[in-house]
């Protein structure tokens, strides 16, 4: 038994028994000897043992459950859990890519811990105080399991503030990483900046959607008379347009508000044999607000064969949903207006607070206002190395649609 004890209010134990990993303060009757960032045992109102988790009084989510068995959370536990998560990736497309997510926090039953791998570098994100306090030991366990000797920390996510933590960024093993680490994904190469890039450096979660776009373009270009016009909005380091390939058959416009992201994108195009400075090359990088750029395209009477809309998270929580709905609607409405008949829209939301169902309704609303017709060709989500625990619906955040539009 561990020292801390948390007793659940009567009638609030069902989600815990059903293995939902979060316990909010409202479900807790009282806590004894519970230390922030340390283990607690969770019992029901009649003192029956339910689970073991970690405690943080500062967070709304006061307990995150690590196990439903009476087992120690020791180094052997970490090694076992890490190995289990890493092995799962071998059975997915991520297994063939040198950039992949190895640990997806609650969804891999290790609440608060993210580990991404880029070639021989590992990037760790400690989302909670519990993980933060033992990150060195977790890195030891990771090294024991994978031989990882190059580990960098990118614990600079906003959610750490809710745990009473400040950002923590820097080398953990193997010294300073190179400015760019090259990864390979389905024959395409990307330079990843794990120190200054977004998230841990790359949007690994979009891997299978980049592949879906590549497949679509493969088919489309066979029938196309002219160059296909691809508008890649919120392009970051160019992922979608570069994966689409066929640089001689596509004119891509990559739009992002971040100059640094577009610099990465340009370097990535070059890395894959498309030199934007070469005569006849048809790739553009535009630093702009995507909302403004869409209006500009409408004013100029431009049209596109494919539009990718992959905005950042518009809703961090329930309070932002209304504003987010307006944002998504505006983007999708203007995208519909700019598409050629028979064109394709690949549209996403990575706001966990916007359900798949709501997102589809928003896109439908935009479609009606644009006066278009559309068919769902595919429902899109995060790649298989970002699994969602069925017990943890909150783990699903990325939702998307591939639409054919008339
Ligand atoms: N599609 C990318 C990931 C996009 S992430 C990929 O597959 O890798 C969202 C991007 O939107 C970030 O690069 C961010 O810089 C950019 N961004 C945020 N707000 C923006 C805005 N208002 N207009 C244009 N770009 C924006």
Mean pLDDT by 10 residues, the chain (406 residues): 87 98 98 98 98 98 98 98 96 90 98 98 98 98 97 97 97 98 96 97 98 96 92 98 94 98 97 82 94 98 98 95 98 98 98 97 98 98 97 97 98
Q: Which among 199, 234, 307 is the best mutation to test ligand 1's pocket, defined by most ligand atoms within 8 Å of the CB?
A: 234
Question: Distance of alpha carbon 252 from its chain centroid, rounded?
Answer: 24
Taking residue 169's Cβ as centre, other Cβ atoms within 10 Å add up to 11
Question: What's the CA-to-centroid distance between 198 and ligand 1, angstroms?
Answer: 9
Taking residue 287's Cβ as centre, other Cβ atoms within 10 Å add up to 15
Per-residue burial over 311-320, b = 16 or more CB atoms within 10 Å of its CB, e = otherwise = bebbbeeeeb
Please state the atom number of ligand 1 nearest to the C-alpha of residue 261.
Answer: 13
Query: With a 6 A CB cut-off, is 203 part of the ligand 1 pocket?
Result: yes
Q: Which residues contact 95 (CB under 8 A, 6 or more apart)?
A: 89
Q: Which among 267, 311, 314 is the best mutation to test ligand 1's pocket, defined by most ligand atoms within 8 Å of the CB?
A: 311
d(CA 403, CA 199): 28
Residue matched to tokens 């807790």: 28
- How much is the pLDDT for 117? 98
- How much is the pLDDT for 93? 85
The domains of the chain are located at 4-67, 75-178, 204-405
| Fold agreement (75-178, 204-405) | no
- 274 catalytic per annotation: no
Quote the DSSP letter at residue 187.
Answer: T
CATH class of 204-405: alpha beta
Give the side-chain half-sphere CA count within 13 A for 148. Answer: 31
- How much is the pLDDT for 94? 85
Q: What is the pTM of this model?
A: 0.96
Please state the atom number of ligand 1 nearest to the C-alpha of residue 237.
Answer: 8
Superfamily holding 75-178: RNA methyltransferase domain (HRMD) like (3.30.750.80)
Question: What's the CA-to-centroid distance between 395 and ligand 1, angstroms?
Answer: 21
Query: With a 6 A CB cut-off, is 289 part of the ligand 1 pocket?
Result: yes
Quote the DSSP letter at residue 178.
Answer: P
- How much is the pLDDT for 34? 98
The CA angle 174-108-161, to the nearest 5 degrees, is: 70
- Which residue's alpha carbon is at the smallest distance from atom 10 of ligand 1? 234
Q: For domain 4-67, say whether CATH 2.30.130.10 is its number.
A: yes
Query: With a 6 A CB cut-off, is 290 part of the ligand 1 pocket?
Result: yes
Query: With a 6 A CB cut-off, is 116 part of the ligand 1 pocket?
Result: no
- How much is the pLDDT for 275? 84
- How much is the pLDDT for 280? 64
**Residue 20 tokens, joined:** 């939902």
- How much is the pLDDT for 225? 87
């Amino acid at each position: 038994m561990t020292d801390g004890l948390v007793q659940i209010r009567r009638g609030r134990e069902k989600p815990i028994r059903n293995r939902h990993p979060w316990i909010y303060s409202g479900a807790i009757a009282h806590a004894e000897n519970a230390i922030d960032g340390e283990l607690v045992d969770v019992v029901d109102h009649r003192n029956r043992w339910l689970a073991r988790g970690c405690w943080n009084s500062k967070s709304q989510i006061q307990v995150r459950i690590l196990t439903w068995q009476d087992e120690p959370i020791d180094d052997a536990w970490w090694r076992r859990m890490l190995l289990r998560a890493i092995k799962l990736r071998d059975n997915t497309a991520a297994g063939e890519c040198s950039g992949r997510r190895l640990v997806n926090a609650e969804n891999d039953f290790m609440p608060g811990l993210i580990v991404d791998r880029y070639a021989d570098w590992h990037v760790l994100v400690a989302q909670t105080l519990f993980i933060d306090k033992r990150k060195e030991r977790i890195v030891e366990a990771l090294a024991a399991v994978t031989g990882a000797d190059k580990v960098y920390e990118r614990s600079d996510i906003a959610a750490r503030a809710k745990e009473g933590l400040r950002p923590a960024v820097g080398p953990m093993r193997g010294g300073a990483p190179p400015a760019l680490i090259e990864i390979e994904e389905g024959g395409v190469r990307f330079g990843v900046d794990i120190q200054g890039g977004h998230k841990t450096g790359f949007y690994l979660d979009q891997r299978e959607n980049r592949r879906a776009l590549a497949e679509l373009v493969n088919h489309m270009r066979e029938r196309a008379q002219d160059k296909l016009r691809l508008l890649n909005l919120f392009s970051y380091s160019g992922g979608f347009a570069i994966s689409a390939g066929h640089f001689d058959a596509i004119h891509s416009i990559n739009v992002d508000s971040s100059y640094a992201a577009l610099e990465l994108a340009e370097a990535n195009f070059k890395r894959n044999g498309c030199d934007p400075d070469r005569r006849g090359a048809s790739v553009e990088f535009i630093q702009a607000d995507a909302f403004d750029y869409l209006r500009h395209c409408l004013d100029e009477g431009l049209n596109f064969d494919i539009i990718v809309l992959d905005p950042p998270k518009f809703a961090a929580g329930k309070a932002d949903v209304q504003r987010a709905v307006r944002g998504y609607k505006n983007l999708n409405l203007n995208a519909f207006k700019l598409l050629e008949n028979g064109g394709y829209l690949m549209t996403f939301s990575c706001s966990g607070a916007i359900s798949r169902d709501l997102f589809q309704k928003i896109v439908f609303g935009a479609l009606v206002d644009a006066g278009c017709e559309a068919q769902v060709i595919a429902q899109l989500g995060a790649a298989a190395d970002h699994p969602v625990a069925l017990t943890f619906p909150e783990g699903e955040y990325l939702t998307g649609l591939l639409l054919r539009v008339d």
